Amino acid sequence: MTHLSLHLPGHQPGYNAGNVYPDQIRDLIEGSMTALMAFVSYNAQNEHSRQFLCYEFPQHFVYIRKIVWQKRQKRTAVGRIYSASPFLRGRYYLHLLLTVVQGATSFENLRTVDGVVKHRHSVYDTLFGMTQVLLLLLVSWKVLEVCRNV
């Protein structure tokens, strides 16, 4: 099982061994490469990989820790994206987007609707509204299904 990190742009984890000066911390964070960042980067460079959702990616590619994804040669793996509570709005909506948007080439690409890059907050509000509509449709469909069976 391959766990895929879930973080907003610029909020990836960075590790300090204790002997790093504060002015070097920014370089450490900017130089770190998470599985999510490598996924987006790989998709930006390789068009053939854009057919997969984030959690499907490990079935076809293997992550070389802190470096890059490479095409899988043997066996397959199951991908799992870390979950996020709806109270963590940004991470939660990012999680939702990663489960439905194929071949994300950047974080901005995830926020693009009809060719227009939306501001983060408007995307979150849009997603919240879309989620509400989808839930209403699902409930309506379930009610219709129950009525047909009566």
Determine contact, residues 99/54, Cβ cutoff 8 Å. Answer: yes
pLDDT tens-digit series, residues 14-36: 666 677 777 777 676 666 778 88
Cα dist. 71→19, 29, 47, 90 in Å? 36, 26, 13, 30
- Helices 89-100 and 120-149 pack at an angle, to 10 degrees, of 60
pLDDT tens-digit series, residues 121-131: 555 556 655 66
Which residue type does 5 have? S
Q: Is the dihedral of CA 23, 42, 94, 34 positive or negative?
A: negative
pLDDT tens-digit series, residues 53-91: 888 888 888 888 767 788 888 877 888 788 888 777 778
Q: What's the pTM?
A: 0.68
